[in-house]
Chains A and B, each alone.
Chain A
């Protein structure tokens, strides 16, 4: 088990290094940050001086190496646009994104599993078929369109919920939270639904098809033959077996909730790291982009590690294989 974790950590580091390298090789194509940083009055000498100050005259592997050197010491450089340390900027923005991702993740998983089980058990029922049809729309509509539709209905027409921003926030230490104010909570609703809808329908359809598969298994028939109640069979025997494959996909999806927050944050002008990244791209703010990409890949890698460990918790067959005989 320990060897397994060590091996996974080792793999994770390699993944991160490769992601960083690819990112740095791409930055050259985004544009030249110097154009944005110096005013109209610049001279060629100014440009050259700034370029060598920032180290942009060096080949990208060297730039990447320097970035890594700083990163391992916790120094991600200084934003070109804001002139402040990147770590501070991200720390300011991260709570907004994480709160949004958390709410939509919880929404997607609870509703997804509940509806998935419901549609599997009542697969002939009218309600189940309506849910399945509606879920098709959820899967096929792009995120931004759903966001705009929700804004149109709930903000513009009904004027119930705010169409942009986080509302009022409260600082707890360094963490700005929207959970404690009414306007903060109201502001969360639309973006969370927009962000979580796709994941929810995906999880729901996955749970449904896995569940239908499991319901055909011999051990479910045998459980029925032993006279166990439907509730025990559905929620104890079938659901736990359903979760094994569902966890893999769900883990990947949670990673993408954070990564895809970019679109939702843009639509709702949500002041999170996604919006920060979009602005950074427009300004070719290399330190911010690099730090953001690394952050996202760290999250993906961590979530996947947790997912793999969850397998061990759920499936005893893996546990024993790992311990060996």
Chain B
């Protein structure tokens, strides 16, 4: 008998206009000690399954049909009180973002003890002892000190360990891990996944691992279920599904994952479901000012760039301490290339980008753009002229667009700010831009919330192109997006470089994406550039230990058989 059995589960969300079926007749079963991957794009219904098992469906969602059984007993349809007794006791959950899933105002001990006592009762001393054991078990060093600290005193990876400790409080039979490592760096991700694997084997816990990362699935899971639009399209042992996918959607999903090995001309897109979006970057090239990219000369020369942040304020200057985020970084960016910067969080890669964009003042060193030093520009006119030539695309497409502005105003804003044209010309330019990034000019009349993440990122691109810049800074432009959307956005960026002669600074922690996008890559660690190489040679032959460590930890698909990967979307 399976540990967890889901039979014919349908979850519906009645809305005012229509009935939305988030999960459509899904069957699923998990054995003790098995890690079962649940993969699909956002909106595929994978998190909804997790919430349905936990009895935590957001209103107005409801289970319309089907049953969920735990060790043979039906748990769907239990009343709220009985369900609460199961949650955390028999079934636990690990959430995506360890930064927000712990209450910031309580110590780790308080949160563990209250959970233990809520289910097992027992004295304070017993609960405290158990809390200490758990913290020790999930691999947090120095448990006695760490227990009395607050969540903000832990790093992201350590917090996720605390979250896992909380999920383990009462020896659950099933753990649902909803994107447990999406917010973490590769090295930390590997550690957390190892911990989950260990727990599954050691305690015979059944784990449902929800993710959109095919690399994680290939690395970690025993079985996998692929979902598309609320339906299961394929299920089976991981090596079989990933190695010899039988369904068209699985094939194109696997093909769309960027490879760290061979470099392709374009990112393969998911064609399943007839979602092909047309871009017309070539059209844009006709109106674009001709740039003569002399590849021998650098566009940017960065010398000894340094940024310090105040860490401790003090009344007196010698009481203050500073944190050096960027430490004497030097590199050149050549005209027309895509220059990548990789590194883990806190390595200073975004700070470098922000200094180049002029968003942070420079604390030391110089930035030279086409022979002119721009890091200490004070003159408003010169600064504006420089800023017109560089534009930025940010990571989070949800917070980087003003929700109160209409899309055409958002795109027109840089044009108006730099007084590049007026009246009807602006409207024509904005319409063109929206057409060219594949949204259609009618999109201009809507507001940002009416668009999906990928569409919003295209609005950002249209906005960045409005001033016809020479240089684009892309700060993790696709890390919030699904593989299929990621491919679209990255292809647009590639087109921009190819057809418009733009130079790109591309910041990412996703090594396969960097492999596909960039001509040269700088690897940053703790504010310093530790390695700078041509992309091909970096991936083939990393010179530093740190770079080879990063490459080793990257979850990859090619551990599995590569059959069936030739199918491209």
- Interface residues in chain A, defined as those with a beta carbon under 8 Å from any beta carbon in chain B: 3, 6-7, 217-219, 221-229, 232, 236-237, 240-241, 244, 314-317, 320, 324-325
Q: Report if A227-B101 is in contact (Cβ < 8 Å); known contacts: A222-B163, A320-B153, A325-B311.
A: no
Which DSSP category, helix, strand, loop or mixed, fits chain B's interface?
Answer: mixed
A314-B106 Cα distance, complex, nearest whole Å = 10
Question: With an 8 A cutoff between CB atoms, is B169 at the interface?
Answer: yes
User: Which 4 residue pairs of A and B lie closest in terms of their CB atoms, listed nearest first?
Assistant: A227-B88, A324-B312, A227-B87, A226-B88
Chain A contacts for B88, CB-based, 8 A: 225-228
Interchain CB contact (< 8 A) of B95 among A222, A236, A237: A222
The answer to whether B311 touches A315 (Cβ under 8 A) is: no
Interface assignment of B400: CB less than 8 Å from any CB of chain A: no
Point out which of A225, A232, A316 has the most chain B C-beta atoms below 10 A from its C-beta.
A225
B1 at the interface (CB under 8 A from A): no
CB distance from B409 to the nearest CB of A (A): 28
18 A-B residue pairs with Cβ-Cβ distance under 8 Å, sorted by A, are A218-B95, A221-B95, A224-B56, A225-B87, A225-B92, A226-B87, A227-B85, A227-B119, A228-B114, A229-B118, A240-B103, A240-B105, A240-B106, A241-B103, A315-B105, A316-B107, A320-B150, A324-B311
Minimum CB–CB distance from B83 to chain A (whole Å) comes to: 9
Q: A3 to B318: give the CA distance in the assembly, Å.
A: 13
B142 within 8 A of A: no
**CB within 8 Å of A: which B142-168 residues:** 150, 152-153, 163, 166-167
Q: Which residues of B contact A7 (CB under 8 A)?
A: 315
Bound-state CA distance A314–B152 (Å) is 14
Is B105 a contact partner of A6 (Cβ separation < 8 A)? no
Chain B contacts to A: CB under 8 angstroms: 54, 56, 84-89, 92-93, 95, 97, 100-107, 114-115, 118-119, 150, 152-153, 163, 166-167, 169, 311-312, 314-315, 319, 321
Would you give the shortest CB distance from A294 to chain B, in whole angstroms?
27
A219–B103 CB distance below 8 A: yes
Q: Please name 5 further chain A to chain B contacts, defined as beta carbons within 8 Å, in addition to the given A225-B92, A228-B118, A244-B105, sorted by A numbering.
A: A218-B101, A222-B93, A225-B93, A227-B115, A237-B103
Chain B residues closer than 8 Å to A316, beta-carbon distance? 104-105, 107, 150, 152
Majority secondary structure of chain A interface residues (helix, strand, loop or mixed): helix
The residue that B87 contacts in the complex, of A224, A232, A314, A320, with Cβ under 8 A, is: A224
Given A218-B101, A225-B93, A241-B105, check contact A3 B54 (CB 8 Å): no
In the complex, what's the smallest C-beta–C-beta distance from B349 to chain A, in angstroms? 23
Contacts A222-B163, A226-B166, A228-B115: A217 and B100 contacting too (C-beta < 8 A)?
yes
| Nearest opposing residue in chain B for A225, CB measure | B93
Residues of chain A contacted by B315 (CB below 8 angstroms) = 3, 6-7
A25 to B87, CA, bound (A): 66
The answer to whether B319 touches A3 (Cβ under 8 A) is yes
**A221, B47: Cα distance in complex, Å:** 14
With contact pairs A227-B119, A228-B115 given, residues A222 and B85 touching in the complex (Cβ less than 8 Å): no
Bound Cα distance A219, B166 (Å)? 12
Q: Please, which residue of chain B has its CB at the minimum distance from the CB of A218?
A: B100
Smallest beta-carbon distance A322→chain B, Å: 9
**How far, in whole Å, are A218 and B151 apart by their CA atoms in the complex?**
14
Alpha-carbon separation in the docked complex, A226 to B152 (Å)? 20
Give Cα distance in the complex from A231 to B95, angstroms: 22
Closest to A6 in B: B315
List, in ascending order, chain B residues with CB within 8 A of A244's CB.
Answer: 105
On whether the beta carbons of B311 and A226 are closer than 8 Å, the reply is: no
Cα(A23)–Cα(B150), bound, Å: 46
How many Å lie between the Cα of A320 and that of B86 in the bound state?
Answer: 37
Which of A227, A236, A241, A324 is in CB contact (< 8 Å) with B86? A227
Residue of B103, B107, B115, B152 near A320 (CB, 8 A) is B152
Is the CB–CB distance between A324 and B105 below 8 Å?
no
